[in-house]
A and B are shown apart, each in its own frame.
Chain A
Amino acid sequence: ETGVTQSPTHLIKTRGQQVTLRCSSQSGHNTVSWYQQALGQGPQFIFQYYREEENGRGNFPPRFSGLQFPNYSSELNVNALELDDSALYLCASSLWVSGETQYFGPGTRLLVL
């Protein structure tokens, strides 16, 4: 059984650019959640995908968007990057069951210059 994987591990972008981060779910999981963890902070919920649709969103602007594919993998897209978008982006997969445990990937470290 493979765990949650994310790519790339880190990247550097400049302000105004666009970025796509990728996540592969743990085998058997049908739900993917994305979190942003700024330096020295706890993770903040961005959104969640189930059955290829967004079914919940945190306090993030529309320039944060995502996709979920039929194999349950997912992408996080961020347009018009801002300096404050620099953070560790974590993907978590789970089953779509109330309160089910979310299993996290290693994250993608994004630096916006």
Chain B
Amino acid sequence: AQSVTQPDIHITVSEGASLELRCNYSYGATPYLFWYVQSPGQGLQLLLKYFSGDTLVQGIKGFEAEFKRSQSSFNLRKPSVHWSDAAEYFCAVGAVGGATNKLIFGTGTLLAVQP
């Protein structure tokens, strides 16, 4: 079955520190992978996506993610976190089957940033 696991429910980092959010997926074919961010009470904003090609993907707001097929992972990284990065982060896999093009999300990682 297709699934996404985000092992860390909650992470706290200090402003200026580096960040890595973990994401593991289960999918039978080459996946389409996404990271979205959600601020409190808001919808989801796309940070970056992987379809094919270069396994290191650059996104908005200084984020990047690396697709590792051997580990079924797509971890999100940022070298220096800003207080405005505090939000919830969702990893998703695009499941294409039949006539449906849906996203399967993980349960999210809530990021807190300490001054």
Count residues of B near A (Cβ-Cβ below 8 Å).
27
**Interface positions of A from 72 to 111, Cβ below 8 Å from B:** 90, 92, 94, 96-107, 109
Given A104-B43, A106-B42: A31 in contact with B101 (beta carbons within 8 A): yes
Assess whether B46 is in contact with A101, with CB atoms less than 8 Å apart: yes
Classify the interface of chain B: helix, strand, loop or mixed.
strand
Given A55-B100, A94-B101: A103 in contact with B46 (beta carbons within 8 A): yes
Given A42-B105, A42-B108, A43-B105: A55 in contact with B90 (beta carbons within 8 A): no
For the complex, what is the distance from the CA of A103 to the CA of B101, rounded to whole Å? 13
* Residues of B with C-beta under 8 A to A106: 42-43
Assess whether A99 is in contact with B94, with CB atoms less than 8 Å apart: yes
For the complex, what is the distance from the CA of A113 to the CA of B50, rounded to whole Å? 41
* Residues of A with C-beta under 8 A to B43: 4, 6, 90, 104-107
* Residues of B with C-beta under 8 A to A41: 107-108
B78, chain A: closest CB distance, angstroms: 20
**Interface positions of B from 17 to 75, Cβ below 8 Å from A:** 32, 34, 36, 41-46, 49, 51
For the complex, what is the distance from the CA of A99 to the CA of B94, rounded to whole Å? 6
A109, chain B: closest CB distance, angstroms: 8
Interface CB pairs A-B, < 8 A, 13: A42-B105, A43-B105, A55-B100, A56-B99, A57-B100, A92-B103, A96-B101, A98-B96, A98-B101, A104-B36, A104-B44, A104-B45, A107-B43
Interface residues of A (CB under 8 A from B): 4, 6, 31, 33, 35, 40-45, 48, 50, 55-58, 90, 92, 94, 96-107, 109
Q: Which 4 A-B residue pairs are closest in the complex by CB-CB distance?
A: A56-B100, A42-B105, A99-B32, A55-B99
